Amino acid sequence: MHTRQSVYINGNWVSARGKGEIEVFNPTTEKKIGSVPVGNMDDVNDAVAAARGAFASWSQSSIEERQGYLNAISNALYERTDEIAELITSEVGTPINYSKMAMVGTPRVVSKSYAKLLDSFEWEEEVRNSLIVKEPIGVVAMITPWNFPLHQIIGKVAPALAAGCTMILKPSKEAPLNAFILADIMEEIGIPAGVFNLVSGHGREIGELLSSHPEVDMVSFTGSTDAGVSVSQAAAPTIKRVTLELGGKSANVILDDADIEKAAKMSVYACFNNSGQECSSLSRLIIPSSKRDQVIQTISNTMEKYSVGDPMNESIRCGPMVSARQQESVTNYINSGIREGATLVAGGDGMPDGLENGYFVKPTVFADVTSDMTIFREEIFGPVLSITTYETEQEAIDLANDSEYGLSGGVWSANEERAIRVARKIRTGQVSVNGGAFNISAPFGGYKLSGNGRELGIHGLEEFLEIKAIQR
């Protein structure tokens, strides 16, 4: 049992002053695996004061010192890969192999990448009679989600450390335990007191307190679009910087000259990674009407081999939803697809065969989905793929852009130039061409209701910097 009774403030583990505890459940077994304390306003004020107090010295720390801590975090994550991956799998339900790679491996590489980036980052430049200086923005509040818990934390913590900022982290209440291991690591590597603070609690209380706090200079939030609106509203009176990485309903466009077999098969994985609980999931597959039957046959064959079950089993592709509430939500979307007349290709309502416990749903594929259907328009956040046909390339682009979101996307074509031309016309923050791999040094973020700002790489670092012009 992973029982935590203290929060981490000013370099010390201290008792939280809120009442009760937040219980953490394994979505596969439905059993309690741990708990974290409930912080309150006093804890937030203490954490902000600690971060404010540490900022003067940390903001003046040397590049070499910051690099040392970033590399130390990366090394510690590497040494504890199996432990942390197994913990996140027990919190979220992520299949263990993907957990090791994406939930621990990616944050490890991201942390190291910021240490390396500092080797060449230009902090100053001259423009005519001005010296342009980049400085850390100050105290940053970080509010993170459950689906990629440690990755989303490191995607904020690493650039903030690199920039010279101090911070308060409020992790997701569904998957907070990994954040406490990170706090353990921070203590072990000797990060200066007050630079990193951790306060667990309920989002509506802690998140709002942090977002509205007058001594917080910036809020970096990842989560739902509705919650992002609330964060922005709370932050508005103090005119603090707000970066948001929100929802998605991303389109994967297969052009008529693509390798149909490969594109169709890969579309399953592009939608169902992390059991579909991924904001950048390519959940809308847009295909030529002339290739409909071939695509559906390929996907049907792929789904027959797509395993669902205990995510600790290395052969399993799809684990449970994170909670009973999420299971119910995804099930409702599946039923809406059936009710609104989409063609069920695979999956459907109910528990997967052979499973009686856990928050599972059947990985589901719908064909003949039209743009007015709920499953085309709304983010499902589960393993549900919607297939829509088009007649012309322009119609494919229009369908891809027919969304209030704009986080990710995909284009498949035998002609890379053509694919890139189409990719340029899709209004999203990222587009993968022919399955192009995720790049931790490229900016990640969205257009439209998918958010403001970017994470990762140099663009992610610059979010945590203010710009000053000194005229002379």
CATH value at residue 302: 3.40.309.10
Residues 304 and 323 reside in one and the same domain: yes
Amino acid at 125: E
For the chain, the domain total comes to 2
Q: Looking at residue 455, what DSSP letter applies?
A: B
Residue 403 covered by a domain: yes
Q: CA–CA separation, 195 vs 425, rounded Å?
A: 42
- Considering the domain architecture, whether residues 265 and 402 belong to the same structural domain is answered as yes
Rounded distance between C-alpha atoms, residue 258 and residue 256, angstroms: 6
CA distance 321 to 359: 5
Mean pLDDT of 215-223: 98
- Asked if 298 and 238 sit in the same domain, the reply is no
Same domain? 233 vs 261: no
DSSP 216-243: --EEEEES-HHHHHHHHHHHGGGT-EEE
Q: Which residue has the tokens 């040494």?
A: 79
- Asked, for residue 34, whether it belongs to a domain, the answer is yes
Of 89, 85, 130, 91, whose CA–CA distance to 105 is shortest? 85
Q: How far apart are CA 388 and CA 306, in angstroms?
A: 22
Residue 1 confidence class, pLDDT cut points 50, 70, 90 = confident
- Give the residue from 244, 242, 303 showing the smallest Cα distance to 444: 244
pLDDT at position 394: 98
When computed from its CA atoms, the radius of gyration of the chain, rounded to whole angstroms, is 22
Q: What does the pLDDT look like over 355-406, one tens digit per residue?
A: 999 999 999 999 999 999 999 999 999 999 999 999 999 999 999 999 999 9
Whether 342 maps to a domain, the answer reads yes
Over residues 154-160, mean pLDDT: 98
Work out the average pLDDT over 322-350.
97
The amino acid at residue 6 is S
Please say if the pLDDT value at position 163 is more than 90.
yes
Q: Which residues belong to the active site?
A: 245, 279
Beta-carbon neighbour count of residue 442 at 10 Å?
A: 14
Average pLDDT for residues 85-107, to the nearest whole number?
97
| Residue 452: per-residue pLDDT | 96
Q: Please report, for residues 16, 196, 266, 337, the alpha-carbon distance to residue 12 in angstroms, rounded to integers and kept in the order given.
A: 12, 10, 47, 51
Same domain, yes or no: 147 and 77? yes
Instruction: Return the biggest CA–CA distance within the chain.
Output: 74
Residues 17 and 130 in one domain: yes
Please check whether residue 375 lies inside any domain of the structure: yes
d(CA 144, CA 156): 9
Quickly list H helices, 59-193: 63-79, 81-92, 96-98, 106-117, 149-163, 177-189
Same domain, 365 and 465: no
Residues whose CB falls within 8 Å of the CB of residue 243, separated by 6 or more in sequence, listed in order: 218, 219, 220, 221, 445, 451, 452, 453, 454, 455, 463
Looking at residue 34, its pLDDT comes to: 97
Residues 159 and 34 in one domain: yes
Give kind and range of the element (H or E) at residue 169. Answer: strand 166-170
Residue 382: the pLDDT is 97
Both structure tokens of 390? 């088009």
How many angstroms separate the CA atoms of 417 and 149, rounded? 36
Assess whether 227 and 274 both reside in one domain. Answer: no
Q: State residue 469 phi and psi, 5-degree precision.
A: -110, 125
Per-residue confidence band for 223, with pLDDT thresholds at 50, 70 and 90 = very high
Angle between helices 177-189 and 149-163 (to 10 degrees): 30
Distance CA 270, CA 272 (A): 6
- Confidence label for 453 from pLDDT (cuts 50, 70 and 90): very high
Under the banding of pLDDT at 50, 70 and 90, the label for residue 141 is very high
Q: What CATH number is given to the structural domain containing 88? A: 3.40.605.10
The answer to whether residues 230 and 119 belong to one domain is: yes
Separation between Cα atoms, residue 22 and residue 401, nearest integer Å: 40
Whole-number Å distance between alpha carbons of 203 and 206: 5
Q: With respect to residue 109, please indicate whether it lies within any of the assigned structural domains.
A: yes
Same domain, 55 and 103: yes
Q: Residue range 155-175: average pLDDT?
A: 98
Reported pTM: 0.96
Checking if the pLDDT of 204 tops 90, the result is no
Indicate whether 444 belongs to any domain.
Answer: no
Average of per-residue pLDDT across 158-173: 98
Instruction: Tell me whether residue 212 is in a domain.
Output: yes
Tell me what the mean pLDDT of segment 40-44 comes to: 97
In a domain, residue 12? The reply is yes
Per-residue three-class SS string for 311-377: CCCCCCCECCCCCHHHHHHHHHHHHHHHHCCCEEEECCCCCCCCCCCCCCCCCEEEECCCCCCHHHH
Its domain, for residue 428, covers 251-439
Mean pLDDT, the chain, whole residue set: 97
d(CA 384, CA 283): 7
Q: 171, 163, 202, 192: which is closest to 50 by C-alpha?
A: 192
Task: Based on the fold, state whether residues 334 and 318 are members of the same structural domain.
Answer: yes
